[in-house]
Amino acid sequence: MAIKVLERKPLSLAERTYLPQIIGGLKITMKNMLKPPVTLEYPDERPDIPTGYRGVPTLVKDPNGREKCVSCQLCEFVCPPKAIRITPGSIAEDADTAHVEKAPEEFEINMLRCIYCGFCQEVCPEEAIFLQDIFSLNGLSREELVFKKDKLYEIGGTLPDQHFKWDKKKAAELAASGGHH
């Protein structure tokens, strides 16, 4: 490997007085002073959360208000830190969505364990669990930070649905049975 020797020139008289460099530095800082601040006044101003951000995991409902989770427990199995715990349950026979058959009786995410990896969102076949835009989370006790189903739906809200899979299924079943049940 060829070694290239750089010649170090001795400093010129102007450079040795430091003055041109100081003036150059002052110019740079003056330019900075005239620019608007780059900071965000945090509690008053919130940052824009980019799409695909992995915030606190939440459960969502579809636009018709149906809870999407069918308690298949895939998220529970894929969760690396074992933060999710699902107690499966079934939907009542006489319910409007009885054909979905299953829904979680209890759904817990232990936020002290969660590592925000997003595997649960990735694995969910029902698009029921999403890591949304909540980036600041705290609590006063361990119990408070184990999110229960109610809390998860409350912070999750409703997200638009592209498929309406179960509605289509119901419609198809209705059509197959000749339109009258």
Which residue among 1, 5, 13, 33 contacts another protein (CB under 8 A)?
33
Return the exposure string of 82-120: e unless at least 16 CB atoms fall within 10 Å of the residue's CB, then b. ebbbbebeebeeeeeeeebeebbeebbbbbeebeebbbb
Instruction: Tell the smallest beta-carbon distance from residue 11 to another protein (Å).
Output: 13
98 binds another protein (CB under 8 A): no
Strands of 84-90's sheet, edge to edge? 84-90, 102-110, 146-147
37 binds another protein (CB under 8 A): yes
- Region of 34-42, 71-79, 104-112, 162-170 interacting with another protein (CB under 8 A): 34-42
Which CB, 39 or 138, lies closer to another protein? 39
13 binds another protein (CB under 8 A): no
Structure tokens at 21: 């460099």
Which residue among 3, 4, 8, 29 contacts another protein (CB under 8 A)?
29
Return the exposure string of 24-57: e unless at least 16 CB atoms fall within 10 Å of the residue's CB, then b. eeeeeeeeeeeeeeeeeeeeeeeeeeeeeeebbb
32 binds another protein (CB under 8 A): yes
Which residue among 14, 26, 98, 115 contacts another protein (CB under 8 A)?
26
Which residue among 30, 140, 175, 176 contacts another protein (CB under 8 A)?
30
Return the exposure string of 123-139: e unless at least 16 CB atoms fall within 10 Å of the residue's CB, then b. ebebbbbbbbbeeeeee
Which CB, 40 or 95, lies closer to another protein? 40
- Taking residue 176's Cβ as centre, other Cβ atoms within 10 Å add up to 8
Instruction: Tell the smallest beta-carbon distance from residue 7 to another protein (Å).
Output: 24
112 binds another protein (CB under 8 A): no
In angstroms, the CA 120 to CA 79 distance is: 6
Q: List contacts with another protein (CB under 8 A).
A: 22, 25-26, 28-30, 32-33, 35, 37-39, 41
